[in-house]
């Protein structure tokens, strides 16, 4: 029980990596607010974690709305009857496309959700986290937060922004005891990944296998690996870690890699 009685909030948690993290937080003894712009999904995920509603509730929040983020934090504090200890700003969107061919609205939405949404989430959360003696603010960046990839330049820029936000906030709020870190996952098998791959390939299953084979370890990180990383960074085991982006990438960012024929 690494997070016994911690009060946690996860955005973008109706499914995928965020849902896995919220589930693990509760398994580690925490209470959690499962939030997502998909309200029915958030409620369903929270119910599946704790049908009694004592340790998990679902709340609608579109992180690109400043008002929604403020409301989420107020609802969480009311549910916990205490400040938030761990806030995982996970919600994010991506798209694949050559910049000269992408509609302006897709670009605007990716920046609104990934950059502004992370900033609004942090701004709202920090009002509460600064009242906790064990505060941890976590973000989800991406492998594209530390290295580029063709056809994903806007996504890459938005995820680099999170790495910068982590550094700035770690310095700004370290003196108040708030640790600020990010997790940067490589491709993980979730609806998010499959939607990105479907933009450029007909056989998504084969594409997933190829991505795995391109990694030094030969496998994709799993949603459970992501949850492990989130628990570690939120827990006292990481008490001296702040301003850090933790790669969860099966070795993909270590260098240029070519698998030797078997």
Ligand X SMILES: NC(=O)c1ccc[n+]([C@@H]2O[C@H](COP(=O)([O-])OP(=O)(O)OC[C@H]3O[C@@H](n4cnc5c(N)ncnc54)[C@H](O)[C@@H]3O)[C@@H](O)[C@H]2O)c1
Dihedrals φ, ψ of 158, to 5°?
-65, -35
69 binds ligand X (CB under 6 A): no
Nearer to ligand X, 57 or 193 (CB): 193
For the bound state, the minimum distance from the C-beta of residue 5 to ligand X, rounded and expressed in Å, comes to 26
Question: Among the options 79, 155, 173, 226, which is catalytic?
Answer: 155
7 binds ligand X (CB under 6 A): no
3-class state of residue 136 by DSSP: strand
58 binds ligand X (CB under 6 A): no
Contact 165, 118 (CB under 8 A): yes
For the bound state, the minimum distance from the C-beta of residue 145 to ligand X, rounded and expressed in Å, comes to 8
The closest of 103, 243, 225 to 181, measured between CA atoms, is 243
192 binds ligand X (CB under 6 A): yes
Rounded-to-5 percentages of helix, strand, coil across the chain:
50, 15, 35
DSSP state of 236: G
Give every strand in the sheet of 56-60, ordered side by side: 56-60, 31-36, 7-10, 86-89, 136-140, 179-185, 244-248
88 binds ligand X (CB under 6 A): no
In the list 91, 135, 207, 234, the residue contacting ligand X (rule: CB under 6 A) is 91
Using the contact rule CB under 6 A, the part of the chain among 26-34, 84-92, 233-241, 250-258 near ligand X is: 84-92
Nearer to ligand X, 150 or 261 (CB): 150
For the bound state, the minimum distance from the C-beta of residue 68 to ligand X, rounded and expressed in Å, comes to 8
Spatial distance between the Cα atoms of 44 and 224, rounded to a whole number of angstroms:
19
247 binds ligand X (CB under 6 A): no
Q: How many CB atoms lie within 10 A of CB 154?
A: 20
In the list 132, 136, 156, 188, the residue contacting ligand X (rule: CB under 6 A) is 188
Dihedrals φ, ψ of 68, to 5°?
-60, -40
Using the contact rule CB under 6 A, the part of the chain among 72-80, 85-93, 169-177, 238-246 near ligand X is: 85-93
Nearer to ligand X, 109 or 127 (CB): 109
Does residue 6 have an active-site annotation? no
Tell me the CA end-to-end span of the chain in Å, nearest whole number. Answer: 42
Catalytic (active-site) positions: 155
What residues make contact with ligand X under the rule CB under 6 A?
11-12, 14-18, 36-38, 41, 61-64, 90-94, 113, 117, 140, 142, 185, 187-188, 190-193
């Amino acid at each position: 029980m690494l997070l016994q009685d911690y009060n946690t909030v996860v955005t973008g948690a109706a499914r995928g990596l965020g849902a896995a993290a919220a589930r693990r937080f509760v398994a580690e003894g925490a209470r959690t607010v499962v939030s997502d712009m998909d309200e029915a999904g958030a409620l369903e995920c929270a119910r599946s974690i704790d049908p009694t509603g004592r340790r998990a509730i679902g709340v609608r929040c579109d992180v690109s709305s400043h008002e929604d983020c403020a409301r989420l934090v107020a609802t969480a504090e009311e549910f916990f009857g205490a400040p938030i200890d761990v806030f995982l700003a996970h919600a994010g969107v991506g798209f694949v496309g050559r910049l000269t061919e992408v509609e302006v609205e897709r670009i605007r939405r990716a920046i609104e959700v990934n950059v502004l949404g992370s900033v609004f989430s942090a701004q709202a959360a920090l009002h509460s986290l600064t009242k906790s003696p064990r505060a941890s603010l976590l973000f989800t960046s991406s492998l594209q937060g530390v290295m580029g990839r063709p056809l994903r330049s806007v996504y890459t820029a938005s995820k680099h922004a999170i790495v910068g936000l982590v550094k700035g906030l770690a310095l700004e709020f370290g003196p108040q005891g708030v640790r600020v870190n990010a997790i940067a996952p490589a491709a993980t098998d979730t609806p998010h990944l499959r939607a990105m791959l479907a933009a450029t390939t007909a056989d998504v299953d084969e594409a997933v296998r190829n991505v795995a084979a391109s990694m030094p370890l030969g496998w994709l990180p799993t949603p459970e690996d992501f949850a492990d990383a989130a628990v570690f960074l939120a827990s006292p085991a990481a008490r001296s870690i702040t301003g850090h982006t933790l790669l969860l990438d099966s070795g993909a960012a270590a260098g240029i890699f070519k698998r030797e024929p078997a």
